[in-house]
Structures are given as structure tokens and as C-alpha cells.
Amino acid sequence: MWHTLRVTLFPIALALALATRIGSGAEPAPQLASINSSDLRADVLALTSEEMSGRLLGTAGNQRAVELIATRFEALGLSPRGDNGSFLRQFGLVTTTLGNQNELMLTVADSSQAGRLGTDFYPVSHSGTSRATGSVVFVGFGLVAPPLEHDDYRDIDVEGRVVVMLEHEPAEYDPDSRFAGVARSEYARDVRKTLEAQRRGAAAVILVPDVHSHGTDSSLEAAMQRTWPTSPPAVPRTELSAWVSQVKIPVVRVSTDFAERLLGVDDGESLALTTERAENPGGVHPFERSDVHVELVTDVRRQTAPHPNVVGAVEGSDPSARSEWVLVCAHLDHDGVTPSGLFPGADDNASGIAGLMAVAKAFTDAARVGQTPRRSVLFAAWNGEERGLLGSWAYAEHPVVSLERTVAVLNMDMIGRHEEVPERGGRRFRGLEPQTSASNTHAVNLLGYSYSPDLRRVAEAADQVAETELALRFRYDDNPSDLLRRSDHWPFLFSGVPALFVHTGLHPDYHTERDTADLLDYDKMTRIVRLVHQMTWDLAEAPTRPDILDRP
């Protein structure tokens, strides 16, 4: 869905009146003016230096960035909120390799057929190393989404059975879908579906292509090569241990031809029709095929390694409110060094980390002169964002502060440039209206607004109070670009915490070696960071919490 470009500038009296319910004040936040372009520029230059080597997760350059941020947090006087009294909060990431013993046997009535690895089936990367046997139960897309009143299991018992489910989700390309519609929803993540089946006692999971929405593909060779490449990739694929380590059962993906034999679609009943019926609102009518028996063996080797987030805090002054928290965050990692050169990641996301450290400094400077907000504030530098929001998902699974006590999340990612979408810009700009850099000179996008009108009002009021003179643009929450789900606010928003993504937009230098420190607009960046500081202060001082609408 396209959203018309617009600038939302309320008269200050109206903006403050709208924000009154959650307590936004009419005074600038303490130490607002201490946030300046010189400090921001210096930090961006440090983070994009050759010494940082592009800050790729798991490299020495990434570790140097972690140490820079942790050292700064300590120098500022933040309270450490990591492991063992440190600023580092470790989380586990899993890399996997395919073992030698992977087998699939299908028996229909008295006829048995062995599946061929790479042609008929292959284990997915989050599969357990295990063996299973059982009859087949088809559960549509295998989705359970209580906020959307969708349950593909209904009342069927899958204990000890092999669950067959479609990939993806219903109405995948329908803008009016109850799921994400123009983008794939979080509920459709394969590992979530697997864990739901395992929780219900399934012996194994078989993933089947959604031929209704994606067409027929009888070959698995290309898909298996992407999952289990013959040559090790330059950047190893990693998955979140908090999810993958829970999976104990076999999980495989099968070809369209094998799925037809598995589900017994004959006598004119096509697989496409079977998958189309799974689009049923509220959930499929699951069915068992007691005449179909499956034996599965999967061999997936896991290696788990720790990686750090950096977390520090300013504790609130009000005994009754300090147990509630405002979370301010940005991601520290980028894409490292490739054959084409060093990817410095100035805008993505040295800009956000520089902003994070500047807001932390403003809060600690204020605290030293006795100005501390009622609520506590947690500052977090996430790792592994470029590999799939891994650090922020890890935190959401095992938070320092419970999500129930997290009032709001403000995430800064790419805050130093002007959005620029070229004509025929290709897939990386999919769903975004062509626009020039000059048209966005003073603009900043705020995403997540449609799930918390209160946070939108806080942003509008803060823009006026802090006199940042920014054009706040609320336009990308429902967009084929899927920007809403592509940065570290998303795990919190999905978990029911009000969250805003502060983002100046994509541009042709995004994720290239041209994303350099000299191209950032540090005056605009200063104003954006002051906006975030003002919002953080207002949320930490407010007498009530911002509301959130239904979970995405």
C-alpha cells in the first residue's frame, strides 16, 4: 500500500494537548543542547575507521566496536546491565552443517518409497538431529495466531504424528490479509511453526511448498544448495540459539511431487486445491491420513558461539516508577569487508550508535547535576542486526528488564542521510516511491506509529518542544518494502511493546562501500538525536504509559 508523502507539523499548543495524557511536558529535556554535530561526527569516524573493518558480526572489527561502546558507557557512568556486572550481554548463535545420515521413507498402504536427499527432501537448518515415525496429519499453514483468531490445529490431536504444513501464510499477497498482507508476517517464520508443532507433541514436521500462492516447483536442488551450500559461504549463516536449541524433532522440506504423494492428492484433487483450502479464514480444517506412514532420520550438526550486545542504564529517581523502563537502542554491526572493498556502514549504522552514545551522555550529564527522570532508561547497542535482528531478538527472548515493565522502545537505524529512491531502483527499493534526496532534506521517517498513536503524539510534541524543525513522516508501516520488520524495534513491537523506528530512509549508497562518514548530514543528525533525547525524557517522566493497539 502506498502512502502519500506528507509533512506533519502541528501547532505547538495542539501537539502538547494531544500528548498530555502520557505526560509530555513543554520544557526541553535537560542537556538537550549538549548533543552536537562535532561529537556525532567524531564517533561516526571512529566506528567507520579501517580498524573496525566494517564491524561484521564475529570479527575482530566487530569486537573493537563492542569495546569502544562498552568503554564509553563506563566513562559516562552508566550502570552496567550485562553479564557478571559488565556491559556485555552475551547471546548464543548457532551455525549448522549437514551430517551424513538423512533418510525419508514414505509408506502408502503396502507400498513404500525412499525419498532421495536433494531431490525429494532435505533437512532444514533448524531441524533437530533425531528420528521419528508416524502417520501424517495435514495442518494447513501450521499457524497459531491468537491476536488474529487463527488456529490451524483446531481440535486435532497431533501427539506422536508427523505434521505436514505449508510454508508461508494465508493471503500472502493480499493487502487486506489479517496477517501482514504485503509482507510476510512474523507468525510465518518456520522455526515458530516448528516449535508450535513440537509443543503439541508432533513427532516431526514436513514443510510443503505453497503452490497456491507460489506456483509449482518440482525440484529442490536449488533450495537445498542455498540451505546447505557445497562451498562454505563467505559469511556463515547463523541462527538464534534461543529458538533453534529448543527444536528436538526432525524437520524437512519436500518437493511438490513428493508432497502430492505424501498427501495422497489424486482422483482430480490437486495439491494447488489442497493448499488453496488452507486459506480458510480462522484456520484450516486439519485432517489425518492414517494410511500414510512416514519414517524420518535427520542429522544436523550444531555449533553454538556467544556474541555480545552492549547494555547500560540510568536508573530512575521515583521509587514507584523506577522499575519501569524506556529502552533506547541502535545496532552496531555492519557487513565487513567483501571482495569489492570495505563496507564502512556510516549511515548503517554508525549514525545510530553515535546517536545512542550522545543520548546516554545527555542523561548522565543531567544526572550528575541532580536531574534524573522518574523512570529508568536502558541504552542498548545490538549486535547481529544485519544477520536477521539477532541481538534484539535474543534480548526479547531473555530481557534484562521484563518486557511487561518496558514502557517504550526508541530505535535509531540510519539517521544520517536523506532518503533517495531512484527510478527503477530495483529490488532493494521495492515498494518505495521514487524520490530525490533534496525532497527529504529535513525529513525523518517514524515507523511503528500505527500501533501506538500515543508514541506518535509524543514524537510530534517532542519535535515542537525541542525545536528540531524536522519533517516527521509517518508512511511505511504497511508497505511492500517491509521496512517495519527490518530493524531492531520489531522484536519488541511484535512482543506487544510500543516501539518507534527512527529512520531517514534508504539511498543508493545503502549496503555498499560508498556508505562513508563524509556523506552524512551531521546538522540534521544532531536534530534527530535531540528529538530522540526529548522523546526519551518525556516518556521517562510521563505519569502514564503509552498504549499499544493489537500486536502486529
Strand 376-382 to 325-331 pairing: parallel
Q: Is 2 a member of any domain?
A: no
Instruction: Decide: 324 and 545 in contact? Cβ < 8 Å.
Output: yes
Give the pLDDT mean for 106-134.
95
Q: Is 193 a member of any domain?
A: yes
The tens digit of pLDDT for each residue in 303-330 reads 999 999 999 999 999 999 999 999 999 9
Q: How many CB atoms lie within 10 A of CB 434?
A: 11
Give the pLDDT mean for 165-189.
87
Residues 89 and 126 in one domain: no
Q: How many CB atoms lie within 10 A of CB 537?
A: 30
183-196 burial, b for 16+ CB within 10 Å, e for fewer?
bbbbbbebbbbbbb
Instruction: Decide: 169 and 179 in contact? Cβ < 8 Å.
Output: yes
Instruction: Decide: 499 and 453 in contact? Cβ < 8 Å.
Output: no
Residues 113 and 89 in one domain: no
Give 232 or 225, the one with higher predicted confidence: 225
The tens digit of pLDDT for each residue in 319-371 reads 999 999 999 999 999 999 988 899 999 999 999 999 999 999 999 999 999 99
Give the pLDDT mean for 72-77.
98
DSSP for 173-241, please give it.
T-TT-SS-SSS--GGG-HHHHHHHHHHTT-SEEEEE--HHHH------HHHHHHHS-SSPPSS---EEH
Residues 350 and 311 in one domain: yes
Residue 229 identity (one-letter amino acid): P
| Band of pLDDT at residue 12, cut at 50, 70 and 90 | very low
Angle at Cα 377 formed by Cα 373 and Cα 380, nearest 5°? 160
> What letter does residue 275 receive in the DSSP assignment?
H
Cell numbers 566506528 correspond to what residue? 47
71-82 burial, b for 16+ CB within 10 Å, e for fewer?
ebbeebebebbb
For residue 240, pLDDT over 90 is answered with: yes
Residues 238 and 384 in one domain: no
For residue 5, pLDDT over 70 is answered with: no
**Final residue of a domain: which of 298, 331, 352?**
298
If you average pLDDT over every residue of the chain, what do you get? Answer: 92
93-102, 425-434, 454-463, 520-529, range with the lowest pLDDT: 425-434
**Final residue of a domain: which of 263, 298, 333?**
298
For residue 9, pLDDT over 50 is answered with: no
Give the CATH number of the domain where residue 241 resides.
3.50.30.30
The pLDDT value given to residue 181:
72
Query: What values do phi and psi take at 285, rounded to 5?
Result: -95, 100
Cα–Cα distance, 366 to 373 (Å, whole number)? 9
Cα–Cα distance, 88 to 502 (Å, whole number)? 24
The residue among 182, 8, 168, 142 whose CA lies nearest residue 552 is 182
Q: Which residues form the domain of 378?
A: 30-93+304-446+470-541
| Band of pLDDT at residue 273, cut at 50, 70 and 90 | confident
Residues 252 and 319 in one domain: no
For residue 11, pLDDT over 50 is answered with: no
Burial of 86 (0-12, 13-18, 19+ CB in 10 A): middle
For residue 107, pLDDT over 80 is answered with: yes
Give the CATH number of the domain where residue 381 resides.
3.40.630.10
Q: Is 451 a member of any domain?
A: no
> What letter does residue 159 receive in the DSSP assignment?
T
**Final residue of a domain: which of 298, 329, 352?**
298
Instruction: Decide: 159 and 183 in contact? Cβ < 8 Å.
Output: no
Residues 351 and 288 in one domain: no
Q: What's the pTM? A: 0.93
Residues 85 and 180 in one domain: no
The pLDDT value given to residue 232:
86
HSE-CB for 504 with a 13 A CA cutoff? 33
For residue 237, pLDDT over 50 is answered with: yes
Judged by DSSP in three states, 409 sits in strand
Cell numbers 482430480 correspond to what residue? 268
Instruction: Decide: 471 and 464 in contact? Cβ < 8 Å.
Output: no
* H or E stretch covering 460: helix 453-465
Residues 435 and 484 in one domain: yes
Q: Is 452 a member of any domain?
A: no
The gap from C-alpha 290 to its chain's centroid, in whole angstroms, comes to: 39
Q: Per the structure, how many domains does the chain have? A: 2
Judged by DSSP in three states, 50 sits in helix
Residues 317 and 402 in one domain: yes
Counting residues of the chain whose pLDDT is more than 90, the rounded percentage is 81
The pLDDT value given to residue 197:
98
The pLDDT value given to residue 272:
79
For residue 3, pLDDT over 60 is answered with: no
Q: Is 62 a member of any domain?
A: yes
